[in-house]
Amino acid sequence: MRLLASSPPSRSASWRNVLLLLQLRWIAVIGQLVTIVAVTQVLDARLPLAPLLMAPLVLIVVNLATASLLRRRESFSQSELFAALLIDVVALCWQLYYSGGATNPFTFLFLLQIVIGTVILEPRWSWIVAFLACVAILLLTFVYVPLDLPARHAADQFHLYRLGSLFCFVLAAVLLVFFVARLDRNRRESDRALAALRQQAAEEDHIIRMGLLASGAAHELGTPLSSMSVILGDWTRLPEVESSAELRADLADMRTELHRCKTIVSGILMSAGDLRGENPSVTSVRSLFGEIVGDWRSRINGELRFVDTFGEDVSIVADPGFRQIIGNVIDNAHEVSPQLIILEIRREDADLVIAVSDEGPGFAADMLARLGQPYSSTKGRDGGGLGLFLVVNVVRKLGGQVSVENRESGGATVQISLPLASLAYHEALPR
């Protein structure tokens, strides 16, 4: 189950709409050429071939230019979409002018362009497309080049009009279903992408609120914790304490727990803020995880198995915040699997992949869909579920992604994939 940490960049709705217009234009080119051949060979009509063939030629050039733009662009503006659709309206008007004007049943294809404009354009642009199509029909009703039909067809032109209307209706119906369905799918994908962005914005807003809360708590707790540290330091020098091994041991435990409280508060601040926090240091992937493994092995009673298949080491910049997100995942695994935790690092293309596996009960199906959301936890305590939520959002800031899955042998695996470029250390070039 892949969480919404980060996803590969997808094409925008406008890009996909331009691609559909390009496909529709290719169909129009093929249809126009086939129609010209059919009318001249089957109906023996004498058509002005030079201007009629000019339109498909222009559309081919436009399509080649559009295809080049699609390779270099990620999105298109409303005015560019309007211009692309306007080219199709003008090309159809040109073809109809030289093939009978409004007496040609293919004038109904203007309705297809109006529908497409309504779907992909904002109302002001779609109204302009509809207005221009109506103007084109008005002009074609009075100004056009009549079809030069042979005598056997000229006597019954209405029969040809009915056959052409039938063919045009079927063609328009097929194109409407195919292309409008594709356009609607683009719209739904855009809605899903927008919903994901809104969810991400809500989560990041939640992080900001947590950061403010943690900052306030740190300021409030800083003074009493510092006072307690000073008092405990004074107590250790009292004669009564120096003469009692039991009191010295108790005070040492208290100072250790006090130091732990300070570390927890600092960790919350770093997790709620930017990853590039205080005290960044240049290290390497292997050295960093060697330190993390050594630290956690001294803190837990069970086995922390380290699997290193990363390959050639890479210099990176790491700080306590980065260690904290790895520690959050290990800590969650230790809570459900105190006997064994497996930490694996490996390289996949240009990514650092970190996998933490446990032998716990795994995740329930309904929890997999909510993992990474704040306060989503199976531990049954208030305020739980923030550890993985922070991990997901910090990793997302680095352009990475987090995935969670239950293992077939039991337990679960949390996998973090980070671009090495976001962590890599680059020496400054001399000026």
196-255 per-position pLDDT tens digit: 777 767 766 666 566 556 655 655 666 677 778 778 878 888 888 788 888 888 888 888
Euclidean distance between CA atoms 425 and 283, whole angstroms: 8
More confident residue, 311 or 186: 311
How does residue 374 score in pLDDT terms, banded at 50, 70 and 90? low
The DSSP code sequence of 131-195 is: HHHHHHHHHHHHS----B--HHHHTTHHHHHHHHHHHHHHHHHHHIIIIIHHHHHHHHHHHHHHH
More confident position, 368 or 15: 15
C-alpha to C-alpha distance for 371 and 324, rounded to whole angstroms: 19
Count Cα neighbours of 94 within 13 Å in the Cβ-side half-sphere: 18
Residues 143-171: tens digit of each pLDDT? 988 877 776 666 666 767 787 778 788 87
Inter-residue contact 129 to 120 (CB < 8 Å): no
Angle between helices 78-97 and 123-142 (to 10 degrees): 10
Encoded tokens for 249: 């041991």
CA neighbor of 5 nearest in space, from 310, 279, 391, 426: 391
Q: Could you give the count of Cα atoms lying within 13 Å of 224 in the half-sphere of its Cβ?
A: 5
What values do phi and psi take at 371, rounded to 5? -65, 140
Query: Which among 227, 408, 226, 402 has a CA at the least distance from the CA of 329?
Result: 402
Q: What is the DSSP letter of 430?
A: P
Average pLDDT, whole number, for the chain? 79
- 63, 25 Cβ separation under 8 angstroms: yes
- Name the residue with tokens 């949390």: 414
Q: Which residue has the tokens 């809360």?
A: 213
Q: Which of 67-81, 168-182, 206-220, 373-387 has the highest mean pLDDT?
A: 67-81
Give the pLDDT of residue 45: 78
Per-residue pLDDT of 265-290, as tens digits, reads 665 555 554 444 445 678 899 999 99
Lookup: tokens for 293 = 């493994």
- pLDDT at residue 131, as a whole number: 94
Instruction: Flag whether pLDDT at 127 surpasses 90.
Output: yes
pLDDT at 138: 93
- Strand-pairing partners, residue 413, are 357, 405
* Token pair of 36 as six digits: 């010209």
Angle formed at CA 157 by CA 135 and CA 151, multiple of 5 degrees: 130
pLDDT at 62: 92
Percent of the chain that is helix, strand, coil (3-state, to 5): 65, 10, 25
Higher-confidence position of 338 and 9: 338
Beta-bridged to residue 309, according to DSSP, are 346
Is residue 78 within 8 A of residue 117, CB to CB? The reply is no
